[in-house]
Structure 1
């Protein structure tokens, strides 16, 4: 009786382990399919991706591939091959974006842009009651200057925008609803202007390179 009981336990353990392994393999295959869909989506959006969005895309790729890298040996042969091809496609896209965005921003120049576009030398110290006015001032400057800006200038303007956004997140819970709505509208406007210029310049560069 004891022997039968032990055999039953062993059988249950083996079947359970096999089921877990099968589920794990199926999940890995699904992860490859999800990565494929994600990469296709990002490739289709390539012309509208800005410098500020690129770090988040890189982090998402790392998150999506971390588990796959550790368990690649468990994938089927077809999935292994496809996974390698997907990683290669991503790295090509990454290289293109890194080349397009050029060198990192200069710290002194970034500080000058912060001062000129917000009227303050210390965005991190903007008071909650003044944040809406700073956003309004920022967008007034963007509208007035944007037609003269190069893509590099837009990188500095986006840096200032991100500094303002970080400050907003810190005081968001205390902001009046009216201020939240106004700031959100201004953020949408800035991103629309930024992406439209980015797309225009990338299109012109491709056009020149094809001639």
Structure 2
């Protein structure tokens, strides 16, 4: 009788433990769903609105990821991978906005650069089918105008390319292989052109110091 009672207590304890784990798992998945919805909402907002609300966006991000960061082990493998991807996307997003803040890009001027370089002043809404053309236009614009650009101009151009890179990350799974390859080549080309400008400036500075 004593053995039977012990077995029943063990079974009940295991049941309670499983129930608590299931509840915890359910809550962390709910937190992930909430964070996913938040990311979608923010990515659908106009860039100008995001820039105006950036301090609030950063605060909300920290609040929504705090519990998730403490409980990532309770997520399924697929959910954990999705969470990591969303966090990486946010970090790229934050880097763009912090860069803009650091160089103090003016809103209307930035909108003009976005429109001229990509054909859209709302890069975060460019459809996957149109992203390749946006990159092509941006690099065509860079090739034609780069020799006359000041360092300030390069700040704007680099920020716009950063926005395109972020949009690519957001819709990567909806791009065909041909577009992925073409866009990757254009990304490398822009980086090469930017480094060429930096090398030229470094050379000119060295000559001036002689």
TM-score (normalised: structure 2): 0.50
